[in-house]
Structure 1
């Protein structure tokens, strides 16, 4: 009886209001993330589910048929002889793009981090390709890389006979990598520049007093402290390299042969040129898995490469 009396509400005590401060804060948080959440569901999760559904069918747009085929498209994926070469080309393109993009971006950021007169002009100059139209940028480079284009014209001044850059298997790959590197290197440069400006000068002063050379300062101080930015830019660059399409479509159309046919362009060919929409959807699933695995692997590596990461 005493326990019942203790648990009974005290007489005269006002009931707790429903909209407490904690609930109001939670509601405000949900309202702030609601637009992003709706966008993710509408433009990411639902399309991803539809792509998986299409991969189990063969959709003939011209005949108006939509036939369930089960795992047939996935068996075609395993038996596709061209896919191995396409994946190899994609790996070469992504590796070259990531290495040259990040190396050049870090080098430019270090050089532009100096306190010199007019340095802002050079920062703007190197960042300007990022805001230029991608198609316009690629078309201009397409003219420059032709047999009688501007690049070979410059080489002829020094007595060098330049190749037809977009018609050789090796030179075509080098060309599309270079075009993409010069287009987006400014974005990573800005991120690295912001990270470099956040490194305390006191650490460099202490290192100079101890007699540490510049390269050792860079390796022991700069790289560890900007490692979070290095992780971020590597994820952005790798994912972006796997989604490159316009440059390939405008410059080489995947040729010569399959030498520049990356996975995204191969997907486009299967779905929109050959009208194998079911198989194209299966290739989309493969691309999604590759991006997810690489991103997860990089995120797991942060414990080793990011300074002070637990």
Structure 2
């Protein structure tokens, strides 16, 4: 009886290959495939090639490509000009981040008011973002010349303006100001969007309690927009470390090396002095700096971002 029952039982059904779980997984992989292909082709492979080139001495003019191990990294550690380049990069980045974010937040607060014609001012302050970077820099180059428009304006008030682009201090300040005015509109829009997401009930409750305006800003506004502050700080810092066109057009790294930032120094070594291997080594240094700063900022989010507390 038992044997007959066993022989008459239906055979076990084979599990189909295309289960719901596998179809969902395939759909997910297909959705992320374009992004992964882009990252692989335009980020990972170039990064690997740059590291490979940094291990070689590559002279395009002489058509030589010789493996030399870590010699370029030893040159990097003993480069007498690198400390000044890093100092100029740090000064430019710190100045740009402080002035850009402060001005962007101030403009966002002012433009968040419900006033007649406020859209015109928002468009006006954002318009430099869409202007060609090279065209913007060339115009500012004419304005900052010794006999340019800024000194002509100062002369009308009896003030003799300096040669802005030929003195180390004023040259760095000029480059920072040009970059701040160019991109402040982008951070302004991000801050403005964040401000409009803050519940108005919080401000009404604070006014009922008699909280001063400044405390409303520090106790309500800043905590509520802290995620946007973190985002804009990361974007601004990374962008400040990648500046090139403004330096190339306005100062060419001068006077001396006062405005020679790391990206422009990389360009000089690779494309002016034809030291492509050492230029690749400098690009690895830039990548490490950007990665470390971004990692530090991301790790600090629990202290800086209200929602992470």
TM range (shorter): over 0.9
Q: Residue in 1 aligned with 2:44? A: 45
Instruction: Tell me the SS of whatever aligns to 1:81.
Output: coil
Does the alignment pair 1:249 with 2:261?
no
Does the alignment pair 1:78 with 2:83?
no
Q: Residue in 2 aligned with 1:103? A: 102
Does the alignment pair 1:197 with 2:196?
yes
Does the alignment pair 1:292 with 2:291?
yes
1:226 and 1:213 map into 2 onto residues whose CA distance is 19
Q: Residue in 1 aligned with 2:30? A: 31
2:196 and 2:163 map into 1 onto residues whose CA distance is 42
Assess, with a 3 A threshold, how the Cα gap between structure 1 residues 201 and 278 changes in structure 2: closer, same or farther: same
Instruction: Tell me the SS of whatever aligns to 2:165.
Output: coil
In structure 1, stretches of 5+ residues that fail to align are: none
1:12 and 1:126 map into 2 onto residues whose CA distance is 74
1:119 and 1:235 map into 2 onto residues whose CA distance is 28
* CA displacement at 1:12 relative to structure 2: 5.8
Q: Residue in 1 aligned with 2:265? A: 266
* CA displacement at 1:20 relative to structure 2: 2.6
Q: Residue in 2 aligned with 1:215? A: 214
Q: Residue in 2 aligned with 1:179? A: 178
TM-score scaled by length of structure 1: 0.95
Number of positions where the alignment pairs a residue of Structure 1 with one of Structure 2? 304
1:197 and 1:168 map into 2 onto residues whose CA distance is 43
In structure 2, stretches of 5+ residues that fail to align are: none
Q: Residue in 2 aligned with 1:303? A: 302
Q: Residue in 2 aligned with 1:145? A: 144
TM-score scaled by length of structure 2: 0.96
2:19 and 2:181 map into 1 onto residues whose CA distance is 54
Instruction: Tell me the SS of whatever aligns to 1:308.
Output: helix
* CA displacement at 1:26 relative to structure 2: 1.9
Deviations 1:80-126 (A, max 9, x none): 01100000000000000000000000000000000011100100010
2:106 and 2:258 map into 1 onto residues whose CA distance is 30
Does the alignment pair 1:90 with 2:93?
no
2:23 and 2:121 map into 1 onto residues whose CA distance is 49
1:107 and 1:23 map into 2 onto residues whose CA distance is 51
**Aligned Cα RMSD in Å?**
1.6
* CA displacement at 1:16 relative to structure 2: 3.5
Instruction: Tell me the SS of whatever aligns to 2:308.
Output: coil
